[in-house]
Amino acid sequence: MTNRDHKLSLARQAELLGISRGSLYYDPRPACEDDLKLMRRIDDLHMEYPFAGSRMMKGLLRQEGFTAGRVHVATCMKRMGIQALYRRPNTSKPAPGHKAYPYLLRKLAVTRPNQVWAMDITYIPMARGFVYLVAVLDWFSRKVLAWRLSTTLETWPCIDALKDAMRRHGKPEIMNTDQGSQFTSIEFIKTLKDADIQISMDGKGAWRDNVFVERLWRTIKYEEVYLRAYDSVSAARESLARYLKFYNTRRPHSSLDGRTPDQAYLNPSVPIPVAA
């Protein structure tokens, strides 16, 4: 990902990738078994109670016999890349030096494929560890256009998934993301601008701004992830690939009048207006 022999300094390469320079030298330590158990339960509770911050999450965990304090719970949530999902005024701040863009989908009728795409990242628990899943979703049809697994919350899997989606499906008019540092990074924004794609970003913590991606995560976790105990990254990748093929080609959606995402994406002859 970075090249020590490149004419650009490592600091500049890290800046373009949206990561800190210190992370280039960091050798991550695996989470202990107790923390993995705690994080798996936090993830499950987050799906049920997305509004729960570290204080409420600590209380929910205490009811189930977990003894972790609020600071430890908050540390685990940060490591997982999750936070309480609710609108908080004046807190929409991306990573230092990164620009946030306005939300463009409010009151917009999304009536055709490739009008709006959305991207996000979620935590995926395994038997002895965890990975992160990034997905590109067509807003109209709910079709997953591309996805990647990563062991870290970095920018390159997002760019890789975006480029893969554009290579196979063209490009959207608008791309909507949250304000995570991966999506406000210089390189990710450049990829969108080079393709002449309008940039839309949720208000920080405003889950309703990207509601279809949040629904996708819930569906994947309850129908696939929580039923498995992946013993390796490759096993997680293979199982998720099978599920996402099923999701796109065979799983009917009530919001699509019983059609599958593939049917809605490839044959949008019966419009399904969606007010964002």
How far apart CA 216 and CA 43 sit, in angstroms, is 15
How far apart CA 242 and CA 248 sit, in angstroms, is 10
Q: How many CB atoms lie within 10 A of CB 144?
A: 20
Residue 110's nearest CA partner among 214, 215, 212 is 212
Supply the pLDDT for residue 91: 32
How far apart CA 77 and CA 39 sit, in angstroms, is 8
Supply the pLDDT for residue 147: 97
Q: What is each CA distance from 34 to 38, 67, 123, 269, in whole angstroms? A: 6, 11, 17, 51
Q: What is each CA distance from 244 to 110, 171, 194, in whole angstroms? A: 23, 21, 29
Sequential DSSP letters for the chain: ---TTSSS-HHHHHHHHTS-GGGGG--PPPPPHHHHHHHHHHHHHHHH-TT--HHHHHHHHHHTT----HHHHHHHHHHHT----S--TT----STTPPP-----TT-EE-STTSEEEEEEEEEEETTEEEEEEEEEETTT--EEEEEEESS--SHHHHHHHHHHHHHH---SEEEE-S-HHHHSHHHHHHHHHTT-EEEEPPTT-GGGGHHHHHHHHHHHHHTGGG----SHHHHHHHHHHHHHHHHHT---GGGTT--HHHHHH-TTS---EE-
How far apart CA 26 and CA 100 sit, in angstroms, is 28
Supply the pLDDT for residue 34: 86
> Going residue by residue through the chain (276 aa), what tens digit of pLDDT does each one get?
445 555 567 666 666 655 555 554 444 556 788 888 898 899 888 888 877 888 889 989 999 999 999 999 999 888 888 777 654 433 334 556 678 899 999 889 999 999 999 999 998 998 888 899 999 999 999 999 999 999 888 899 999 999 999 999 999 999 999 988 899 999 999 999 999 999 999 876 555 667 888 899 999 999 999 888 899 999 999 999 999 999 999 999 988 989 999 999 998 876 554 544
Q: The pTM is what? A: 0.73
